[in-house]
Chain A
Amino acid sequence: MFGETHGRAIFVDMATDPDQSMEVSPRRVLVVGLPETGKSSFIHALDEVLKHPVTPHDLRSYGLAPDRSYIQSGKPKFLAGQKLDRTDRQIEDTSVELLFEHPPTGQRGRLLLPDKKGEIFRDQWVDRQWRKDYRESLEGIAGVLVFVRADEKSRNDELLGTLAKEAGESNKEPRPWNLKDASGQVQLVDVLQFIVERGEVPQPLRIAVLISAWDTVGQAGDLRPRDPTKFLDREWALLAQYLRANPHFFNEKIFGVSAYGGPPGELGELFEQPPHERAQLTEGTETMRDLTRPLRWLLELE
């Protein structure tokens, strides 16, 4: 079911496991994000957290998938706390499969993650088209993980106030308009519009917004809200409004996530901790190590 036809998105598939007495109908989760929004880092951190559950009730790994060649290729850098190379768009098979179980319900599942670059979603915005098999794969998804970055601006800066006044006449030619240059939150909203208006997805659709690089929030002099929901309201306002204003389409929760626990390559004292202890997730005012929480909410496991 998750062969090449689904190779352009990231899915979670909870399937029946033959060894398990409790049967679970297959359910999938789509992962959406523009380029370099932390999707690959999250996958690596999730793999580590699944292998090292903190409490007996945490979602956990119950073994290794048959093919881990793609995730293994990025492992050395992630475990060393270094920035991952960008996902190679030319590689068709970037699938990552993680096996997990949920002790409280006894359910077991498969996490299948073809880790395509965020350009797939940017291409949808620019080309105003998507692959038929991608659209078909949306049918029956359980929810969506949407990635945005805390350390990236959500919209283009305007020449306003003194900037506009001081701007003089110049012979410099402005860059011609290109859809790729549109504000990030505008692109993301349109991609979500495509999904709920053109894809046959359940309504309301559960959406977990993951604000990556969350460790950059709340440092000295940073006035941005430390609650991820309030952060999204202020910093990614168009996206926040769009989700809130369409309760028939969406049921959303907002999380802050730091897959490394700090800036990759500059982890300092964090280097002393194993990677699964560096990763952090924030919901409301609570910060925890358990990166599986958004997935458990999407899959209605809690």
Chain B
Amino acid sequence: MPSCKLENCPVVKDGRCLEGRGADCPNLIPDSIASEPTRELLASADHIKPIQLTFEPLLGLAPLEVAEARNFARRGPCTVVALAGMPECGKTSLLARLHQLFQAGPVAGFDFAGSRSLPHFEELNWLATIESGVSKPTMKRSSTLFDNCFLHLAVRSIDSGTRTELLLNDITGETFEKAVASQSKCEELVALARADHLVILVDGAALASPILRYHHIEQASDFLQRVLGSGQCGAHTALQIVITKLDKLRGHEAVADKIEADFDARFRAAVGSLKFWRIAARPMDGSLPTSELIGEFFSYWARTTLRYPTPTLPNVRRDTWARDFCRYGN
């Protein structure tokens, strides 16, 4: 029986894939590998002597668990960004867009410096590529399994050379709604309490619809009330309200203006900072994504934390520091 890289996948018990992908699931570990770490291969007909091959695991496929994320947090400057919003509000599109932007070049003064989540980022974007054969670009739905997990992205400032580890926590729309409904569900979102940035995404297409508009606004507002009430967010939090799908909001900008004014009046005093953004990560009207704005938005994550003071480096060249210590006998 094959096994799975995801701990709670039942495939090893009953053969059912947790994500419903069957034999094509990339997390599936084939029987031959799963059952024994060492296997024998016959080289060829000319070389009958079996060769003993031992395999070692490399970086995994699943997003980082909390314990793994802590390792990154210990390495140096580390920023945690929690993204939350109603189902299909555009969280995945935003993450996929960031990955695509870095594939095209540096983003807002930052070079891509590494990632533990490259397979996951690539998968996010698959159904929006020509190679997938999809007729209309779509996004993979996030799994509630990963509500307390992180995508990792390391960047390096081109100006200062400072490296920052970013841990991106994607809270699914289903969990977002449950957290509004239940305090205990909300408190299960442990990553929120460590988040430097809380990003609430509001679906621009929903705002354009009088039927959906009020529900979406209320859910975003109630979620904020919930996390502020529980203490998971507060003065240490940089809050960002992001209105997505700008292409579908056209003609209803006044609704967005009103929401921003309302949220500003209600929440600015309760958080460390509050910013508003309007983006289109994957417009469907023939226009191009608001890449520059998304880059600016991203750079705010990479440059800002309110959790602790950012030390200011002395204005001397780094290679002179060692000499200062030499004076004391080293």
| A164-190 near B? 1/0 per residue, CB < 8 Å | 110111101111111101110110011
Bound-state CA distance A124–B127 (Å) is: 24
Q: Does A93 contact B (CB under 8 A)?
A: yes
- State the main secondary structure of chain B at its contact with A: mixed
How many residue-residue contacts, CB under 8 A, span A and B? Answer: 173
Q: Closest B-chain residue to A172, C-beta based?
A: B135
Q: Which of B57, B118, B283 contacts A129 (CB 8 A)?
A: B57
Q: Which of A91, A156, A197 contacts B129 (CB 8 A)?
A: A156
Q: Which of B24, B104, B115, B284 contacts A164 (CB 8 A)?
A: B284
Q: Closest A-chain residue to B51, C-beta based?
A: A4
Flag if A158 contacts B285 (CB, 8 Å).
no
Q: Closest B-chain residue to A156, C-beta based?
A: B129
Q: Does B289 contact A (CB under 8 A)?
A: yes
Bound-state CA distance A173–B289 (Å) is: 26
Flag if B287 contacts A174 (CB, 8 Å).
no
A183 → chain B, closest Cβ, in Å? 6
Listed stretches B105-113, B253-261, B294-302; interface member: B105-113
B140: A residues at CB distance < 8 A: 177
Q: Which of A129, A133, A164 contacts B58 (CB 8 A)?
A: A129
B54: A residues at CB distance < 8 A: 131-133
Listed stretches A53-61, A221-229, A236-244; interface member: A236-244
Bound-state CA distance A127–B32 (Å) is: 12
Q: Does B288 contact A (CB under 8 A)?
A: yes
A83 → chain B, closest Cβ, in Å? 24
Give the contacts of A215-257 with B (CB-CB under 8 A): 233-234, 237-238, 241-242, 244-246
Known A127-B33, A181-B126; judge A159-B58 contact (CB<8 A). no
A126: B residues at CB distance < 8 A: 26
B44: A residues at CB distance < 8 A: 90-92
Q: Does A300 contact B (CB under 8 A)?
A: no
Flag if B24 contacts A132 (CB, 8 Å).
no
A181: B residues at CB distance < 8 A: 126, 131-132
Bound-state CA distance A169–B21 (Å) is: 23
Q: Does B325 contact A (CB under 8 A)?
A: no
Q: Which of B5, B26, B56 contacts A135 (CB 8 A)?
A: B56
B299 → chain A, closest Cβ, in Å? 15
B24: A residues at CB distance < 8 A: 176-178
Q: Does A1 contact B (CB under 8 A)?
A: no
Q: Which of A92, A125, A128 contacts B43 (CB 8 A)?
A: A92
B113: A residues at CB distance < 8 A: 241-242, 245-246
Bound-state CA distance A128–B286 (Å) is: 38
Bound-state CA distance A241–B163 (Å) is: 13
Q: Which of B118, B131, B286, B287 contacts A186 (CB 8 A)?
A: B118
A150 → chain B, closest Cβ, in Å? 17
Flag if A165 contacts B118 (CB, 8 Å).
no
B323 → chain A, closest Cβ, in Å? 21
Flag if B128 contacts A159 (CB, 8 Å).
yes
Q: Does B160 contact A (CB under 8 A)?
A: no
Q: Closest A-chain residue to B55, C-beta based?
A: A129
Q: Does B213 contact A (CB under 8 A)?
A: no
A180 → chain B, closest Cβ, in Å? 9
| B127-161 near A? 1/0 per residue, CB < 8 Å | 11111111111001000000000000011100000
A135: B residues at CB distance < 8 A: 56
B56: A residues at CB distance < 8 A: 129-132, 135, 198
Q: Does A73 contact B (CB under 8 A)?
A: no
Give the contacts of A189-207 with B (CB-CB under 8 A): 189-190, 193-194, 197-198
Bound-state CA distance A227–B273 (Å) is: 45
A156: B residues at CB distance < 8 A: 125-126, 129-131
A172: B residues at CB distance < 8 A: 133, 135
Flag if B129 contacts A177 (CB, 8 Å).
no
Bound-state CA distance A175–B129 (Å) is: 11
Flag if A130 contacts B286 (CB, 8 Å).
no
Taking Cβ atoms with an 8 Å cutoff, the residues of B that contact A are 5, 21, 24, 26, 33, 43-44, 47, 51, 53-61, 100, 102-106, 111-115, 118-119, 121-123, 125-137, 140, 154-156, 163, 282-289
CB<8 Å pairs between A and B, sample of 10:
A125-B119, A128-B58, A131-B54, A174-B135, A182-B122, A189-B118, A190-B119, A237-B102, A242-B113, A245-B112
Besides A158-B128, A193-B59, A245-B112, 7 other A-B contacts (C-beta < 8 A): A129-B33, A132-B54, A157-B131, A158-B100, A160-B282, A174-B135, A238-B102
Closest 8 CB pairs of A and B: A170-B135, A92-B43, A245-B113, A165-B286, A174-B134, A245-B156, A245-B111, A241-B111
